[in-house]
Amino acid sequence: MNPSEYLSSYGVSRTAIREKLLSILSREDQALSSKEIEEKLGEDIDRVTLYRSIRLFEDKNIIHKIVIDDQTIKYKLINPKKGSTHPHFHCVECDKVLCLPETPLPQCNLPEGFSAKTQNTIVEGTCQKCNH
Ligand SMILES: [Zn+2]
Ligand SMILES: [Zn+2]
């Protein structure tokens, strides 16, 4: 599927910046922060338009947001077969964030009257590269 077909399958009309954003995100194994995306886009892109496109992709479930802390927020394309309810790995040395394979999420005993909607599991440690 080419980028513009991909976007239209999500009900998103194509613009140059959205296509570039999509191709950057689909090329990467690891999740990217908006700053990293900005660096990869290079040239003089309009930041407001970029940030708006990221938010649109999120709303349309093209990407999912991974929040490590208020300094580290990353985005990764959603694999429609996998969805976005999987744990993530955060390397504390180089700040790399990866999606991990789906595993059953731990059961929590919620207080009476509470209900769960989502659960974020972040595994922290060091990646292969930082272990050498
Ligand atoms: Zn690392
Ligand atoms: Zn993920």
Within a domain: 130: no
Say how many Å lie between the CA of residue 91 and the centre of ligand 1.
Answer: 5
State mean pLDDT over 106-120: 86
Nearest ligand to residue 121 Cα: 2
Within a domain: 49: yes
| Confidence band of 42 (pLDDT split at 50, 70, 90) | confident
Say how many Å lie between the CA of residue 90 and the centre of ligand 1.
Answer: 8
What burial letters (b/e) apply to 108-118, b meaning 16+ CB within 10 Å? eeeeeeeeeee
CATH number at residue 8: 1.10.10.10
Strand order in the sheet with 88-91: 97-99, 88-91, 122-125
At residue 2, the pLDDT reads 83
| Confidence band of 87 (pLDDT split at 50, 70, 90) | very high
Split into its structural domains, the chain has a count of 1
Report the candidate in 53, 17, 1, 54 with the shortest Cα–Cα distance to residue 32. 54
Question: Rounded distance, CA 97 to CA 95, Å?
Answer: 6
State the residue range of the domain holding 119: 3-125
Within a domain: 131: no
At residue 116, the pLDDT reads 83
Within a domain: 103: yes
